[in-house]
A and B are shown apart, each in its own frame.
Chain A
Amino acid sequence: MYLAAEGHNPILPIWQELVVGTIAFALLVFVLLKFVMPRMETMYQARVDAIEGGLKRAEAAQAEANQLLEQYRAQLAEVRTEAARIRDDARADAEGIRQDILAKAREESDRIIAAGKEQLVAERTTIVRELRTEVGTLAVDLASKIVGESLADEARRAGTVDRFLDGLESAGAR
């Protein structure tokens, strides 16, 4: 059974096998290098591109989003300070207006009070003037009355004086 292969040295190649091996392997290399491997490298590159490109795009989008966020934050801060400023201004304005109104009101009230006082003084002076003339008239009336009465009766005289005084009192009380 093994006679045909008797005496083989495993280190020595069989030349037919060298030929077959060369042809078969050459065929394999030719077919795969021509039809498969270029596409494989292309696909490999495409995938690397797709993945790295995707990563790059994602990074760019992230950066843009960050920038926008920063911008919005800055704007928001700006708006906040602006709002605070406006509020402060408004508060100051309101305070000013209040002070103005108060001052005006005080002035007005002072003016009214002063006018009232003046009027009072004027009225008083007219009253005093009137009183003076009236007192004068009364005095003259009284004098004429006293002069006109007979001064014989002492008791009557006393009564007259008393009546005068009463009249004077009542006039003063009026």
Chain B
Amino acid sequence: MSGQLVVAQDLPWPPSVNDFYPPAVAGPWVTKFTLMVWLAVGLVIIFYMAAYRNPKLVPSKGQWLAESVYGLVRDNIAREQMGNAGIRFAPYFTVLFSFILITNIFSIVPGLQISPNSHIAFPIVLSAISYVLYLAVGVRKHGLLKYLKMSLILPGVPWPMHILLVPIEFLQNFVVRPVTLALRLFANMFAGHLLLLVFTVGGFVMLSADNLFVQVTSVFSFAMAIVMAFFEALVAVLQAYVFVTLTANYVGTSLAEEH
């Protein structure tokens, strides 16, 4: 990079936060991001409606795919984290998983190239719902006081330790959990997009350089961009899985009898 890079006029180099805020299509309500969210909602609804228009015991291809997602969430996430009590949450978790998965995948879909989850607003919405869900489940199951006591007071600890432990437990259960849930998804998608930008835009910047050596080297940058796109696909699936698994885990601890 020590060569004299001539930055092309229309290439935003180096990539910055502002690359995540393209100009609005029509006002603050209709932007690329809000449109992508509506698109994701539409796609997920259409997929499930089409797949389950006429469900059969021996499934068609679409129905099989839809049931595979449901089966994965039901058995590998909900039941794994919460036992058989988790099955009644499996439908919501499936919707959540599908929505996060498709919005994450947008980050490598040509033409979209960015995930709505790289704007923190959307992870905040999802994590807030998970937060309310696990609090509501806990309060409904145990009552408010018992739930608070369960969440804040560790059993079998000498009482002076509670001076230290109660604030930590409070922070852990009521602040850190939802914040990290939102931040983890947001940061992964944000960083993933930034990486893709670095290698793709970097490749173009190198290609438009005066130096022939630098122009040839841009091949590596593009190759790296392709590798990163596959990596991004992996991260997209993984983060959807992690988000839903953690939500299931939090709801599961709310349901649990002991701390």
Residue ranges of A at the interface with B (Cβ–Cβ < 8 Å): 1-2, 4-6, 8-18, 20-22, 24-25, 27-29, 31-33, 35-41, 43-44, 46-47, 50
For A18, the chain B residues whose CB sits under 8 A away are: 121, 124-125
For B31, the chain A residues whose CB sits under 8 A away are: 16-17
A129 CA to B185 CA in the complex, in Å?
A: 150
CB of B37 within 8 A of CB of A21, answer: yes
Min C-beta distance of A27 to chain B, whole Å? 6
Q: Which of A8, A20, A28 contacts B99, CB < 8 Å?
A: A28
Check if B49 is an interface residue, CB within 8 A of chain A: yes
Given contacts A32-B44, A41-B90, contact A13 B20 (CB under 8 A): no
Q: Which of A4, A6, A43 contacts B67, CB < 8 Å?
A: A43
For B23, the chain A residues whose CB sits under 8 A away are: 1-2, 4-5
For B28, the chain A residues whose CB sits under 8 A away are: 14, 16
Of the candidates B45, B121, B126, the one having the most CB atoms from chain A within 10 angstroms of its own CB is: B121
| CB under 8 Å from chain A, chain B span 115-160 | 116, 118-122, 124-126, 129
For B67, the chain A residues whose CB sits under 8 A away are: 40, 43-44
Of the candidates B120, B122, B125, the one having the most CB atoms from chain A within 10 angstroms of its own CB is: B125
| CB under 8 Å from chain A, chain B span 177-224 | 186, 190
Check if B13 is an interface residue, CB within 8 A of chain A: no
* 8 closest A-B pairs by CB: A5-B21, A37-B91, A17-B121, A13-B121, A21-B125, A20-B34, A36-B48, A28-B41
Given contacts A16-B28, A50-B57, contact A21 B91 (CB under 8 A): no
Check if B33 is an interface residue, CB within 8 A of chain A: yes
Residue ranges of B at the interface with A (Cβ–Cβ < 8 Å): 12, 17-18, 20-24, 28-29, 31, 33-34, 37-38, 40-41, 44-45, 48-49, 52, 55, 57, 66-67, 70-71, 74, 87, 90-92, 94-96, 99, 116, 118-122, 124-126, 129, 186, 190
For A14, the chain B residues whose CB sits under 8 A away are: 28, 119, 121
Min C-beta distance of B167 to chain A, whole Å? 24
Min C-beta distance of A153 to chain B, whole Å? 150
CB closest chain-A residue, reference B94:
A37
Extra A-B contacts (17), CB below 8 Å, given A18-B121, A20-B37, A33-B92: A2-B18, A14-B119, A16-B29, A17-B121, A17-B122, A20-B38, A21-B122, A24-B34, A24-B38, A25-B37, A25-B41, A25-B125, A28-B45, A31-B45, A32-B44, A36-B49, A37-B94
Min C-beta distance of B192 to chain A, whole Å? 13
CB closest chain-A residue, reference B70:
A40
CB closest chain-A residue, reference B28:
A16
CB of A27 within 8 A of CB of B41, answer: yes
CB of B18 within 8 A of CB of A6, answer: yes
CB of A25 within 8 A of CB of B45, answer: no
CB of B33 within 8 A of CB of A17, answer: yes
